[in-house]
Each structure stands twice: as C-alpha cells, then as structure tokens.
Structure 1
Amino acid sequence: MNAGQTPRKLALRETAIPGLRIVDLPVHGDNRGWFKENWQREKMVALGLPDFGPVQNNISFNAMRGTTRGIHAEPWDKYVSVAAGRIFGAWVDLREGDSFGTVVTAELDPSTAVFVPRGVGNAYQTLEDGTAYVYLVNEHWSAEAQAAYTFVNLADETAGIAWPIPLEHTERSVRDLGHPRLGEVTPMRPRRTLVLGADGQLGRALQSEMPDADFAGRSRIDLRDPATLDAVRWSDYDTVINAAAYTAVDAAETPEGRAECWAVNVTGLAELVALTARHRLTLVHVSSDYVFDGMKSGPYAETDPVAPLGVYGQTKAAGESLVGLLADHYIVRTSWVVGDGDNFVSTMAKLAECGVDPSVVDDQVGRLTFAADLAAAIRYLLGARPARGIYQVTGSGAPSSWADIARSVFALLGHDPARVTGVSTEYYFGGKQAAPRPRNSLLSLDRISATGFAPRDAADSLADYLEPLIAAPAGTGQEG
C-alpha cells in the first residue's frame, strides 16, 4: 500500500459456501512500507468470525508466479491471508450436505483474508513472484490428522474453476495432479456429538433422541481412567454430553464409595473439562437436585446458592463449578430420573403386581423427570443454543412425594392406591446406611421455559411410561 492511500475498513463478506467468509483488512502504509492487524481476536469475533482458537501459524513462500496448490479440505478451521504478493484463491465445499461442490473464488492481496471452515477445500494460484501465503489453523498437524484430509483435483470439470493462468502452464505437485474428481470424493463428515454414560437411563434415552451421535459406555470411556479420555480423537467432535456419573448416593457415604464418587464426579470430570476447553467443544453436563439442602420452601432457581448435604451432592456441586469455567457449556440440573431399566416406578409396578403393600417416603417432595423428556430437552438446547449456563429440567405440573407417585403407579395399573403407606424419611432409613436427602427437590423451570421449551407434565409422562403395563393382561409378568 502506498503512503497517503486510505486503508479499507475492517469488514466481513459472506459467500456462497456456508461459513466461508472474506475479510477486508485495513492496511496502513507510509514511506517505510505498510502494517496490518492480520488476526485481531477481539475485533474479528465482534465482526462475526468464530473464536476459532488458532494454535499454529504457517507460511508458504512461493518463488514463482503460477505456483498452484490444492485442493485440500482439512479437519480443522483455517484463516488464510497474504503477507506479500497476490493470489487467486479457490474454495470448494467438500462437506456432507446440500452445499457440497459449491465453488467460491476471490483474489487476495495483503488487504484481504479468508476464513475457511473445516471440510472446505482450499487452493490458490500465485499471481506474482515472491508471494508469501500465511495461514492460521486451530489444530496441530499430525500424520493421523492428515489421513482425514479430503481432496479434489484442481482441474475438476464439475468445479470448473477459471484459473487465471492455465494449469498446464503452472507449477503443481505430483500429489496434487493425482487427486480425484468431485464425483469420486467422499464428503467430509461433520463433527459429531459424543455421549458419555451411554449405558445409563439417560444415555439410552439419548440414543433414541440423537441416533447420529457417538455413544460411549464405561467400557470405552471411564472417567476414572484418564487413558480412556486420552485415547479419544477429539477433533471428530464439536459437542460432548456427559451423562456419566457415580450415582450410588448411599454407597458414596462409605470410605470406598466416597473415594470413587470424587474420582468420577470431580477428578475425572476435571480432566474432561480440560479436554473440552483445549479442543473448543461444547460440554453438556448433567447435574442433580442434590446440590441443594432442600430447606427452601419453594422451587429452587438456577441462581440459588448450592448447599449439598452429602458426598454425592458435594461432588455434583463441585462438578458444576468446574463446568461453569468453560466458555461454551450447558449444565442441565434435574431430579428423580426415570428411564429404561430398574427405577422407582418400575419397582412400584412390580410390587403392585406381586401383591406387596409398600411403605414409601412421604416427606420428600419433587417432580419426576423421565429420561426421554430430559434427552429431548438436551437436544433442544443444542439446537436452539440459548445463553450458556445452568438450565433446570424436570417434569412439570404439581409437586409430589415419593408416596404420592407410588399411589399413582398403583392406581394407573388398576390397583388400590391405599395399599401404599406413607412414612417419614427417618422411619424408612432407620438403622440403614443412607445419605442425607433434600426434603424439597422442586426445581424451577422458568429459565428453560423462557427459551421456548415446554417440559411435559410429569403425570402425563408417567401414564405414557406405564402404558405397556396398563395394556398388558394381569399376571403376564411384563415389566416397566
């Protein structure tokens, strides 16, 4: 840029390829040369570029006009600019989806940059001798990462790129000459969601709600074992849902259980938080009403101070503090979860069928949360992307005690609800090793409702959950 010439204003231009943005950069020149802010995080994020977290800065020097490189789609985001000379840039969308094969071209000099999202093929041709091509990337190069590249041939007829210098008159690498045509390209898959705790009630519900996610049970990823976390190729994912936890609240009060509860819910979670921060992932973490002491007279809000009574609640409160440090997170606080497998509702159904008249605690109040409804809320949050933070999700409707719920189960299955006897917590756990439990587990649903998600009435979800048993003839032995 020459002295006295007015620099461009910093501006962002959208293109036909989703996520591919051209950036106009102010270049300030005088008699000594010129200066520019090539990447200025605060200004460019405010402009609309993603905060993509570059970790590597590379420079490709091209001695001769006509040097042509590409078309390479890499498994990371890239920010391209020119330090000296000029290039003709070409980008081809090689991601799965409707925009696959879309082409964008532009000429770049030091006053222009391009943000290239993961999976978009990148190529350029130098228009001057001594061109220095600069790019930032947000993953470190490795041989394993290179194996995930996708390529298309520079001369592909479908893309039809109008190279300023005919390719037969350019310098190209042998490898670039051998790249496939567009019709032979396997599109790059989008980053996926990884679900930890796939074997639990919520994990199984998420498998139905989000079938395209990757599900990992404890045999694959165990939060107590850092090696299982280190073995994950995190660049394949953009979101992690942590449905894994130590939930044996009574065993957590024993010396062995206390250590294991902290190892999973805090120490292991801390390692997961560090990894999600390093790889700029969204973390959805499931927490519990046990972070409260249950002394409040009304529903707990997300902003109420935590005051856990027992070891399990203490670890869940500590876990919330760890996850809350992340730039991109959702903490989904819930209570009284019922899903596929053994749980309170299925136990009451068996007792009703077997003729057992149970004694059930009647001085703990809350609302059931069905795993399918909780999974739907998590999927909603990831789609709607409201402000980060804590969102409480339970069933809606009137609060109930455990004894009230047991009576509803009996009544829905055609049994006399009077067979259920309500007892105090002290009476029920008398003489047993038991964790302290919050008497009030009622969680406010105002924040999640304000985003547009309407939690289902817990009574309706209970009736739907029991429907297979209601429809079954008495004595068939079918279970919920």
Structure 2
Amino acid sequence: MSLPSLETTPIPGLVVVRLDRRDDARGFFKENWQREKMVGIGLPDFGPVQNNVSFNSDRGVTRGIHTEPWDKFVSLATGRIFGAWVDMREGESFGATFTLEMDTALAVFVPRGVGNSYQVLEDGTAYTYLVNEHWRPGITYPALALDDPTVAIAWPIPLAEAIISEKDQHNPALDPSTAIAPKKTLIVGALGQLGRALQADFPGSDLVDLAEGSVGDRTVARLDLTDAAAVAAWPWHEYAVVLNAAAYTAVDLAETPDGRRTAWAANATAPATLANLAATHGFTLVHYSSEYVFDGTAEEHTEDEPVSPLGVYAQSKAAGDIAVGTAPRHFLLRTSWVIGEGKNFVRTMATLAANGVSPSVVSDQVGRLTFTSELSRATRHLIDSGAAYGTYNLSNGGDEMSWAAIAREVFTRSGRSGDDVSETTTEAYAAGVLEKGGPFAPRPLRSAMSLAKIRATGFEPEDAMVALDRYLAD
C-alpha cells in the first residue's frame, strides 16, 4: 500500500490517515504532516496555524468530548489511545459516532463541529494536533458527556477507573437544540445589482454594504472595508465563504480626481483587504472582475491572457485581481456587460423604446451580456461542484453582439422596429462626451471571453437572448 493513505468513516469529513512510519532499531521516523502529500490523497487543504501537544503521563487519562470551532489533524508522537468522535453538526449525521484505537502510525482529520475525545492506553502518551485557527482564552466551546447514553461510547477502560478533569465530569448530554450550525456566507455589496441577485442562490447569508439598508425583510449592515477598526471588529472567523459583489463601476467618473480615489479604494484596496482576511481566517473568497482588465485587442479573451488595462477603472480592477489571486482559496469571476436589477443598458433601451426615442448606439464594441442571475448561478456551481480554485470567465452564452445589435433586440421585443436604432462608433461617442466637458474612459472594443474553462466544470451558460426574453418579461 502506498502511504500516506486515506480512509473514510461514518462521520462525513472525518477521515483516518495511515502515515508512512519508518521503523528501525533506533525507533521510528514519520512525516506527521506533509501538505502536498496529504492534499494529494484527498485531505482538505485546511491551512493549520497552530500545533498543540497534550502529554498524558498515565494510562486511563480521558479527555473530551470537546467540539471546537476549527478543523483539527490529530496524531500521536508516542503511545496509544482509544479515540472517539461524535458528529455535533446540524444535519442528518448529528450524533453519529466513530471510534478507533490509534498508535503513532495513524492520524485523524477532524472537521469543525465534530466532537473529539480520547482515552490513553499507555503511560507517557503524547497527543499532538494541528488546528487552523488560533486558540483564544476565555471562550467556552460546546462539549458532550463522556458517558452520554445516546452515543454510548464503549470506553476500553471504565470511566469510573479513568482520570478525568473536573470540568469534563460535568459536560452535558446530547441535545439536538445545541447542534452546531455550519459556517456562514457573507455578501459584501448586498445592495448592488449583483449583491441582490446572489441572495437568491445564497439564502440566509449575512449582508453588508457601505451604508445600512434592507433588501425585502433582510437587514443590510454597514461595513467599510477601508475602515481598519471596522474590519478588525468584524467576526470573519464565522464565515466559510465571502462573496465580494462590491465595486466602483462608474468607468468615466473614475477618470476624475475624486473618482480615481474611490475606484482604487473599492476595486483594489478592499479586495486586497479581503484576500488578507481569507488567508488569515481560511474562508473562500469569491470576487467579480471585468473584461476591462484587457485592452480589447484579442479576438477572444482567455483566463491566462496578461492584463492590459486602458483606463483608471480598468487599472483598479486589474490591481484587485492581482490581490485576490493571493488568497489560498479564491474564485475570480471575470465578466462583461452586466445586467441586473436597477438602472442598466437594457432598461435604458426599453425605456427609450417605450417613449418613442430612436437612439444612436455604438456598434464597434463587441461582447456578450451577463445577467446577474447567471453570475449568481455560476458562483453557486463553482462552490458546490468542488471546482478548482482560480480565475474563470463568465458571461451568458450565444453569439457575440455589439451594443447596437443588443439595442435592436430590446427594441423589437418592446414592439419597436430594430431599424429605429442607428449606429455610431466609440470614437464619435467619446468626442460628443468630451465636447460637453465630461470625462470619458477608453473602452476595450472586443469584450468577448472564452467560456471553455467554466464549461469544463459542468456549467453551461444560458444563451443571452433567452435570458433577455425572461428579463424583459419580468
């Protein structure tokens, strides 16, 4: 058998690892923790930050059953134990148990929310474990009685003869009402069009934005990621996933002095803060970027194309992408021409059609629409499917189209003739804006992105025109 190897147990996520222990006349050597090999056999890349050792001088010492809010990798440096684990998490496996006699050739990965306990079978047993959060004094963690009749652990040494701490002698019985809830999801930018869409696929998420507010009956708390004190006070350890839907998207105003500062704060500084927090607290960071990070000269943009941003907005988004890439667990979704709840290009064209206006729309910018519902659906898919972390392009599917062609589609669906939409160029449109004294940011002329990578994960983007029909019908 190739070692290390992994064996599953009746408790979801709890796995036994058989270590590659090398014995000789002197004793033994083993790689107790080797990240590349452990992850390679299927162990979660849980990111340990602290190593603890519990030395047990006498046979019969019994500790537990403790349920701490972190993942744990337990093993022995010396001796033998009888280990017992109880699933204390909400769900069908609540109360499930697993026991195992362990020596120094075995280790067990214990996921957050699973109660951990052991009984020492040899004098001088050294129990060692890695955890992925720092221990904090003064915090009470859930516990379970060692003699709980429901789980009925068959301890090899009767508990009446065991050495048990005063505290562990008074642990409570199993109670479903105290089951441990999973870590939560946080949506940053919950009041924006993408943030609102994400709430449909991530119900029950905590919601924050730069200002307090509400979405339906849900309260949106205030959190400014540029406020160091507010960031430090936020309970980041409670989250498994953070969805960063916040962004500064006023591409033209970003060319002004005030806009430049705001764009960099929202699109670069805030994502960098979240990336650092993701590394510290171990949550998965999902961030949404833009095809504006490219100069638009490629026929089709792929995920590995080097960034080449043209304007301030684009530069700030590219900087944010680089920062997010440092988070150990991240999904970076690059998207284009986003359409969601509130004011946007499609709504504007529909209003113009209804009011009898015949607009002139640029025809030399080509790409695909991305509906926020599709972005949200793709996010849910990537997280649930176990897709590899990294960068993914995401837009709706179908043919590439110009803004003018999309405007015509909106007009025909609104009862107007597509011929009522005339064409102009980006250069001519920019000249008109600049002539009136307004700022104008350079645009990539080709925004179409390859969708091959996300399709390879099993996600099929919906045709943009099918999504447009539904959007206009709502």
Residues of 2 paired with 1:360 and 1:401: CA distance?
Answer: 9
The residue that corresponds to 1:307 in the other structure is 308
Matched, 1:183 2:183: no
Tell me, what secondary structure is at the counterpart of 2:100? strand
The residue that corresponds to 1:211 in the other structure is 203
Q: Taking every aligned residue pair, what percent have the same amino acid on both sides? A: 56
Instruction: Evaluate the alpha carbon distance shift between residue 295 and residue 112 of structure 1 in structure 2; reply closer, same or farther with a 3 A threshold.
Output: closer
- Opposite residue 385 of structure 2, the aligned amino acid is A
The residue that corresponds to 1:316 in the other structure is 317
The residue that corresponds to 1:399 in the other structure is 400
Instruction: Evaluate the alpha carbon distance shift between residue 295 and residue 34 of structure 1 in structure 2; reply closer, same or farther with a 3 A threshold.
Output: closer
Does the 8 Å CA contact 1:77/1:116 hold for their aligned counterparts?
Answer: yes
The residue that corresponds to 1:444 in the other structure is 450
The residue that corresponds to 1:225 in the other structure is 227
The residue that corresponds to 1:92 in the other structure is 86
Tell me, what secondary structure is at the counterpart of 1:265? helix
- Opposite residue 11 of structure 1, the aligned amino acid is S
**What is the CA deviation profile of residues 419-453 of structure 1, one whole-angstrom value per residue up to 9, with x for unaligned ones?**
33322223333123111111221222222222221
Could you tell me how far 1:26 is from its partner in structure 2? 4.2
Residues of 1 paired with 2:19 and 2:420: CA distance?
Answer: 76
Does the 8 Å CA contact 1:87/1:127 hold for their aligned counterparts?
Answer: yes
Unaligned 5+ residue runs, structure 1? 1-6, 469-480
**What is the CA deviation profile of residues 138-161 of structure 1, one whole-angstrom value per residue up to 9, with x for unaligned ones?**
1101147x34x3222111111011
Does the 8 Å CA contact 2:71/2:132 hold for their aligned counterparts?
Answer: yes
The residue that corresponds to 1:461 in the other structure is 467
Could you tell me how far 1:46 is from its partner in structure 2? 2.7
Q: TM-score, normalised by structure 2?
A: 0.91
Could you tell me how far 1:104 is from its partner in structure 2? 0.7
Does the 8 Å CA contact 1:334/1:392 hold for their aligned counterparts?
Answer: yes
- Correspondence 1:402-421 to 2 at 5 A: 402-421=403-422
Residues of 1 paired with 2:296 and 2:16: CA distance?
Answer: 54
Could you tell me how far 1:333 is from its partner in structure 2? 0.8
The residue that corresponds to 1:192 in the other structure is 184
- Correspondence 1:111-122 to 2 at 5 A: 111-122=105-116
Could you tell me how far 1:242 is from its partner in structure 2? 1.6
Could you tell me how far 1:329 is from its partner in structure 2? 2.1
- Opposite residue 228 of structure 1, the aligned amino acid is A
Could you tell me how far 1:30 is from its partner in structure 2? 4.7
Does the 8 Å CA contact 1:308/1:314 hold for their aligned counterparts?
Answer: yes
Residues of 2 paired with 1:113 and 1:151: CA distance?
Answer: 22
**What is the CA deviation profile of residues 344-379 of structure 1, one whole-angstrom value per residue up to 9, with x for unaligned ones?**
111222222223332322222221111111111111
Tell me, what secondary structure is at the counterpart of 1:195? strand
Could you tell me how far 1:185 is from its partner in structure 2? 5.1
Does the 8 Å CA contact 2:201/2:376 hold for their aligned counterparts?
Answer: yes
Could you tell me how far 1:236 is from its partner in structure 2? 1.7
Does the 8 Å CA contact 2:274/2:285 hold for their aligned counterparts?
Answer: no
- Opposite residue 457 of structure 1, the aligned amino acid is D
Residues of 2 paired with 1:437 and 1:74: CA distance?
Answer: 51
Could you tell me how far 1:317 is from its partner in structure 2? 1.6
The residue that corresponds to 2:293 in the other structure is 291
Does the 8 Å CA contact 2:278/2:329 hold for their aligned counterparts?
Answer: no
Instruction: Evaluate the alpha carbon distance shift between residue 435 and residue 245 of structure 1 in structure 2; reply closer, same or farther with a 3 A threshold.
Output: same
The residue that corresponds to 1:3 in the other structure is none
Tell me, what secondary structure is at the counterpart of 1:182? coil
What is the root-mean-square deviation in Å for CA atoms of aligned residues? 2.2
**What is the CA deviation profile of residues 369-428 of structure 1, one whole-angstrom value per residue up to 9, with x for unaligned ones?**
111111111111112233332211112112222222222222212123333332222333
The residue that corresponds to 1:268 in the other structure is 270
Tell me, what secondary structure is at the counterpart of 1:460? helix
Residues of 2 paired with 1:227 and 1:319: CA distance?
Answer: 21
The residue that corresponds to 1:40 in the other structure is 34
Could you tell me how far 1:286 is from its partner in structure 2? 0.7
One of 142, 152, 156 as aligned partner of 2:148: 156
Tell me, what secondary structure is at the counterpart of 2:86? strand
**What is the CA deviation profile of residues 306-333 of structure 1, one whole-angstrom value per residue up to 9, with x for unaligned ones?**
2211011111122222222333322111
The residue that corresponds to 1:350 in the other structure is 351
Residues of 2 paired with 1:457 and 1:28: CA distance?
Answer: 57
One of 255, 258, 263 as aligned partner of 2:257: 255
Does the 8 Å CA contact 1:57/1:136 hold for their aligned counterparts?
Answer: yes
Instruction: Evaluate the alpha carbon distance shift between residue 34 and residue 299 of structure 1 in structure 2; reply closer, same or farther with a 3 A threshold.
Output: closer
The residue that corresponds to 1:142 in the other structure is 136
Does the 8 Å CA contact 1:93/1:120 hold for their aligned counterparts?
Answer: yes
Does the 8 Å CA contact 1:399/1:442 hold for their aligned counterparts?
Answer: yes
Q: Say which is worse superposed, 125-134 or 263-272, in terms of deviation.
A: 125-134
- Opposite residue 331 of structure 1, the aligned amino acid is L
- Opposite residue 175 of structure 1, the aligned amino acid is K
The residue that corresponds to 2:384 in the other structure is 383
Residues of 1 paired with 2:455 and 2:21: CA distance?
Answer: 48
Q: Say which is worse superposed, 385-394 or 155-164, in terms of deviation.
A: 385-394
The residue that corresponds to 2:215 in the other structure is none
- Opposite residue 58 of structure 1, the aligned amino acid is N
Instruction: Evaluate the alpha carbon distance shift between residue 295 and residue 32 of structure 1 in structure 2; reply closer, same or farther with a 3 A threshold.
Output: closer
Tell me, what secondary structure is at the counterpart of 1:426? helix
Could you tell me how far 1:93 is from its partner in structure 2? 0.8
One of 277, 280, 293 as aligned partner of 1:278: 280
The residue that corresponds to 2:218 in the other structure is none
Tell me, what secondary structure is at the counterpart of 2:99? strand
Tell me, what secondary structure is at the counterpart of 1:206? helix
Q: Say which is worse superposed, 365-374 or 45-54, in terms of deviation.
A: 45-54
Instruction: Evaluate the alpha carbon distance shift between residue 73 and residue 402 of structure 1 in structure 2; reply closer, same or farther with a 3 A threshold.
Output: same
- Correspondence 1:168-179 to 2 at 5 A: 168-179=160-171
Instruction: Evaluate the alpha carbon distance shift between residue 370 and residue 222 of structure 1 in structure 2; reply closer, same or farther with a 3 A threshold.
Output: same
Does the 8 Å CA contact 1:95/1:190 hold for their aligned counterparts?
Answer: yes
- Opposite residue 48 of structure 2, the aligned amino acid is P
- Opposite residue 443 of structure 2, the aligned amino acid is R
**What is the CA deviation profile of residues 80-131 of structure 1, one whole-angstrom value per residue up to 9, with x for unaligned ones?**
1223332211100111222111111111222322221111100111223333
Matched, 1:70 2:76: no
Q: Say which is worse superposed, 36-45 or 435-444, in terms of deviation.
A: 36-45
Could you tell me how far 1:32 is from its partner in structure 2? 4.5
Does the 8 Å CA contact 1:77/1:118 hold for their aligned counterparts?
Answer: yes
Q: TM-score, normalised by structure 1?
A: 0.90
Does the 8 Å CA contact 2:278/2:328 hold for their aligned counterparts?
Answer: no
Could you tell me how far 1:28 is from its partner in structure 2? 4.1
Does the 8 Å CA contact 1:310/1:435 hold for their aligned counterparts?
Answer: yes
Could you tell me how far 1:290 is from its partner in structure 2? 0.7
